[in-house]
Amino acid sequence: MPLDATPRRLYRSIFISDVHLGTRGCNAEFLLDFLRQAECSRLYLVGDIVDGWRLRKAWYWNESFDEVIRCFLDKAQSGTDVTYIPGNHDEMFREWLGLEIAGVKLAREAVHEAADGRRFLVIHGDEFDGVIRYAKFLAYLGDWAYDWALTLNRWFNVARRRLGYPYWSLSAWLKRQVKEAVKAIDRFETALAGEARRRGLDGVICGHIHHAEMRPVHGVAYMNDGDWVESCTALVEHLDGRFELLDWAAEMRGRAARPAREAVPA
C-alpha cells in the first residue's frame, strides 16, 4: 500500500520510551511503521530514546535512526505538543532540561491530564530503580549482559525470518523466566505507583524496565509503555481518555498473515 494510502490512527496522546537508537537491537523499522500511521495532539518521549551508553562504547547509527528523529521533529513542527523526558541512557540531555529545541520541550517529568480529567505522573523511572540509583557500576554490568541477550535475540530472529516466521522476542521471554527479574519489576511498579499516590495523582506513566503493563497498584493506575527493542509497544490515549497498550510487533504479524489467509481458496 502506498504511504499516502496508509490509514491514519488518531489518538489524543502517545507515550513512547526505550527506543535505544544507536543499538543493533533497536527495532526502528517497527517504530517508523507506527509513527507513519499515528497522529496525536500530544507525544511524550519517556526516556532512553537515544542510547548514549552504547554510543560512547562503539558508534552505530543507520538511516532508519535518522528517520525516527525526523518523524519526531516533523510531528513537533506540524503542531503536535512533543515533550522529551530523558532517561538514564540518554541522561546527557538532562543538561538541557527546560529548553525547547526544534519544537520539542525537554523536561525532567510531566503531569499529563487525560481527557476524562485524571492526572498522571509521566517519568522515565530510573530514579526508582535501586541498581541505577545506588550502584551504577552494576547497571553498566547488567547493560553488558543485556546487550549479549539482545545480540542472541537478533540472530534468533534472523533465523526465524529465513524460515518464514515473524518476529518474536527471545530476550523478553528469557527475562520473564527469571524469578528475580519478576520480583524487581514488581518492586519497581510498587515504587512508582506509591510516588504517584504520594503526589495526589491518579496514576503514573513510565518506561525504563522494558516491560509493558497496565494495572492498578495500591489504588492508582500503573502504566508502562514498554520499549522498541523487545516488545515494540506504545501506550496511547484515545480521544475519550481511555488508555490502551499497542503491541506493534503483533500488529505487523497480523498484517503479514492477512494476505496469506486471503490467498487460501474458500
Least confident of 62-76, 129-143, 186-200, 204-218: 129-143
Determine the Cα–Cα distance for residues 245 and 86; give it in Å rounded to an integer.
21
Mean pLDDT of the region 159-185: 62
CB of 65 closer than 8 Å to CB of 26: yes
C-alpha to C-alpha distances, 118 to 207, 220, 243, nearest whole angstrom? 19, 11, 11
Output the pLDDT for position 185.
79
C-alpha cell of residue 191 = 515504587
Q: For residue 103, give the C-alpha cell.
A: 519544537
Q: What is the pLDDT of residues 31-59, one digit of tens each?
A: 999 999 999 999 999 999 999 999 999 99
What pTM was computed for the model? 0.80
Say if residue 169's pLDDT is above 70: no
pLDDT confidence bin for 138, thresholds 50/70/90: very low
Q: What CA–CA distance (Å, rounded) separates 86 from 108?
A: 7
Torsions phi, psi of 111, nearest 5?
-115, 115
Query: Which residue ranges form the domains of the chain, and what is each CATH number?
Result: 3-263 (3.60.21.10)
Instruction: Determine the Cα angle at 61 with ends 151 and 65, to 5°.
Output: 100
DSSP per-residue string spanning 57-100: HS----HHHHHHHHHHHHHHHTT-EEEE---STTGGGGGGTT-E
* CA 67 – CA 64 distance, rounded (Å): 5
- For residue 10, name the pLDDT band (cuts at 50, 70, 90): very high
Q: Poorest-confidence range of 103-117, 134-148, 158-172, 219-233? A: 134-148
- CA nearest neighbour of 239 among 72, 41, 76: 41
Query: What's the full length of the chain, in residues?
Result: 266
Q: What is the pLDDT of residues 222-235, one digit of tens each?
A: 999 999 998 899 99
Of the listed ranges 82-96, 131-145, 179-193, the least confidently predicted one is 131-145
Mean pLDDT of the chain: 85
